[in-house]
């Protein structure tokens, strides 16, 4: 099934199991984590999910180059890294007009589950946030959600990223205004 790799919203959500398997197998994923053990573990999970094209980066700077060069379908990103943190990387990627692929779906895979970190990630424009250790099923479900239920990219004030999920009946711009802004120092 032909698709536009840079416009995931062009993908229909009513796919057969065989079509979904083909899409998963055709994905190009950039996996960013400073810990080689976690990269190997996540790579194995992705392989078990059916992903065949996996590119690794040990830090955020290398990841930016890989994203520019490879034009991946999805980025899986650790939040705490040296040189360039996950938050800093997301800020750069989600800069239309500055970064060439501001719409690439981003899944954060972090060992930190504090609410403020999740809120910060969402405010920066990540698509999904998963806690380590993660199961192959949870990762597969997030990949599938990104592929079959894409959220269009939106610009709302300073926010650029996937259209936020709405909380109850609040309008999208209200959700972004009321979420607390948290600055974190990343070591």
Question: DSSP of 97-123, one letter per residue?
Answer: TTSS-TT--EEEEES---HHHHHHHHH
Model pTM score: 0.82
Is residue 57, in this structure, part of any structural domain at all?
yes
Per-residue pLDDT of the chain (187 residues; tens, 9 = 90+): 334 444 444 445 577 889 999 999 999 999 999 999 999 999 999 999 999 999 999 999 999 999 999 999 999 999 999 889 999 999 999 999 999 999 999 999 999 989 999 999 999 999 999 999 999 999 999 999 999 899 999 999 999 999 987 654 455 455 455 444 333 333 3
Which pLDDT score is estimated for 165? 77
Is residue 6 one of the residues assigned to a domain? no
Residue 183 lies in a domain: no
Q: Report if residue 20 sits inside a domain.
A: yes
CATH of the domain at 153: 3.40.50.2300
Residue 15: the pLDDT is 78
Number of domains the chain contains: 1
State the residue range of the domain holding 124: 16-178
């Amino acid at each position: 099934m032909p698709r536009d790799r840079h416009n995931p919203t062009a993908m229909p959500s009513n796919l057969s199991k065989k079509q979904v398997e083909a899409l998963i197998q055709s994905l190009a994923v950039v996996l960013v984590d400073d810990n080689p053990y976690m990269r190997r573990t996540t790579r194995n999970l992705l392989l078990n999910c059916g992903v065949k094209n996996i590119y690794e980066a040990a830090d955020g700077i290398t990841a930016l180059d890989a994203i520019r060069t490879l034009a991946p379908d999805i980025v899986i990103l650790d939040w705490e890294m040296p040189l360039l943190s996950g938050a800093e990387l997301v800020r750069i990627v989600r800069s239309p007009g500055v970064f060439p692929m501001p719409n690439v779906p981003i899944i954060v895979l972090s060992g930190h589950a504090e609410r403020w970190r999740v809120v910060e990630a969402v405010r920066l424009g990540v698509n999904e946030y998963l806690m380590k250790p993660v199961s192959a099923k949870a990762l597969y479900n997030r990949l599938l959600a990104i592929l079959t239920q894409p959220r269009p990219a939106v610009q709302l004030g300073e926010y650029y990223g996937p259209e936020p999920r709405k909380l109850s009946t609040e309008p999208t711009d209200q959700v972004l205004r009321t979420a607390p802004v948290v600055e974190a120092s990343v070591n």
